[in-house]
Every structure is written in C-alpha cells, then in structure tokens.
Amino acid sequence: MKHKCILSIRVAKYLLLNGFRIVDIEPSRKFNGQVVFIFEETPALIEELSKLHK
C-alpha cells in the first residue's frame, strides 16, 4: 500500500472533510518540528489533490 504525506494542516482538513481518512501522523523527516499527515494514496486522493493545484 502506497502512502501520501501531507504537511499542510489546511490540506489535511480538506481531505478529511471530503471523506479521506488519515492512516497515521508522524514527525516530518524533512522539516524539523513539523508533522505529516499520512493518507492512503489512491486515484481518488490524487484526483482530489490535483483540484487544489488548479
């Protein structure tokens, strides 16, 4: 199972409101002091994220 890490709280909340579930929350390996919200990477999740970048 592939995962998608989301650093933005705003994006994570948006995904939660649209029916996606957080798999886990972990400390960021790239940004010290930050956390990442981990979602299962599905075609629906990728499609929803692409809507945010338009």
Strand partners, 3: 40
Predicted pLDDT of residue 9: 95
What are the boundaries of each domain within the chain? Answer: 3-52
List pLDDT tens digits, range 28-52.
999 999 999 999 999 999 999 999 8
* Cα distances (angstroms) measured from residue 28 to each of 14, 21, 48, 53: 20, 19, 22, 22
Neighbouring residues of 27: CB distance < 8 A, sequence distance ≥ 6: 34, 35, 36
Look at the pTM and tell me if it is higher than 0.85.
yes
